[in-house]
Amino acid sequence: MATTILINSNKGGVGKSAQCRELACALARAGWQVDVADMAPQGNTTRRFGIDRAALAAAGHPGTADLIDPTKNITYHQTLVPVEWDVPWTGNIRVAPSLNAINMQNRNLEAGRPGAERRLFAALRGQTEDRHVVLIDTDPGMDHLMAVALAAADGLLITVELDYDAVEGGVNVVSYLNANKVLMGLEDVRVVGVVVTKARRELSATARVQEENLPQAFAAAGGPELIWTPSVPLYDTLAAALSDAQPLEAYNHPSARRLEDVFAAHAAQLVKAIGY
Ligand SMILES: Nc1ncnc2c1ncn2[C@@H]1O[C@H](COP(=O)(O)OP(=O)(O)OP(=O)(O)O)[C@@H](O)[C@H]1O
Ligand SMILES: [Mg+2]
């Protein structure tokens, strides 16, 4: 069965979805079979894979909101959409898309029901035997939806910028896991890595202090080897590739090759962390 990794941080805009897409691409380039389950209501990751969310929704295609809706009998396989990019590895990625914003009002009603947190876990169970990794993307909220995503995860990957509030947002996720893992039956879930995103070439003195502080800040999650290297550089090429919904291969610029190398190193660290 696939190893499921939740990419998370309790801070908006720190590059969670960017990390999710590029890590999936790097794994796919290396020949691994990857699914991306987009649990973020805004569906940025779904769109950034070149998937036409509006067209799918209009055609009645089910997304992740439907998958965790107990009033609908949707299977995980029914949600899956291929990625149709002009790259040799495109067939190695499938996306469980976020189409209609997950209705939090309904989810909050649902949250009072037995097993509500385990809807995604149950939907994935037995459905990912032919995959190596499932990456789950979420929004930064630490609400019921985050609990649903966490309950389906074997491991957590945290993204942080070198900024006080962003590091705190990452640490909040570790605290949440540690505070709730016994209650939620998630004793075996561990943090597989902490990724520094949007790193400027010249770190400011403040950013350098945050960088030095990272092993200490994440001490409760593991040792300094948790901090993945290298950091993701702040490059316009990545912002463009995400905005244009194109793979890095579409950009004939050295920064695109550099980004491919960075995410290949991350993919190797993930593969090592999960023991493939
Ligand atoms: N390494 C990078 N270099 C340049 N731009 C980046 C980089 N990483 C992310 N971005 C840009 O920063 C913005 C936020 O990134 P992204 O959407 O991945 O963050 P997020 O944490 O998923 O946000 P949210 O909290 O809304 O889910 C996007 O416009 C994206 O293109
Ligand atoms: Mg996001």
Query: CB-based contacts of 59: which residues, under 8 Å, 6+ apart?
Result: none
Domains and CATH numbers, the chain: 3-274 (3.40.50.300)
H/E stretch holding 244 = none
Distances (CA, A) of 164 to 15, 167, 213, 268, 272: 16, 5, 10, 28, 29
* Positions of E strands within the chain: 3-8, 34-38, 81-82, 93-96, 133-137, 155-160, 190-196
Kindly give the distance from the C-alpha atom of residue 243 to the centroid of ligand 1, in angstroms, as a whole number.
10
Does residue 5 contact residue 154 with C-beta atoms inside 8 Å? Answer: yes
For residue 271, the tally of other CB atoms under 10 A from its CB is 16
In this prediction the pTM is 0.97
How long a stretch of residues is the chain?
276
Taking the C-alpha atoms of residue 207 and residue 211, their distance in angstroms, rounded to an integer, is: 6
Please identify, by atom number, the ligand 1 atom nearest to the C-alpha of residue 235.
Answer: 3
Ligand nearest to the CA of 238: 1
Taking the C-alpha atoms of residue 123 and residue 233, their distance in angstroms, rounded to an integer, is: 35
pLDDT in tens, 176-235: 999 999 999 999 999 999 999 999 999 999 999 999 999 999 999 998 899 999 999 999
Ligand nearest to the CA of 141: 1
Roughly how many angstroms between the first and final C-alpha of the chain, as a whole number?
A: 12
Cα–Cα nearest to 161, from 215, 234, 224, 226: 234
Taking the C-alpha atoms of residue 14 and residue 233, their distance in angstroms, rounded to an integer, is: 12
Q: Which residue's C-alpha comes closest to atom 26 of ligand 1?
A: 13
Position 77 scores a pLDDT of 98
CA 112 to chain centre: 26
Positions of the chain with pLDDT under 50: none
Kindly give the distance from the C-alpha atom of residue 22 to the centroid of ligand 1, in angstroms, as a whole number.
11
Answer whether 238 contacts ligand 1 (Cβ < 6 A).
yes
Answer whether 250 contacts ligand 1 (Cβ < 6 A).
no
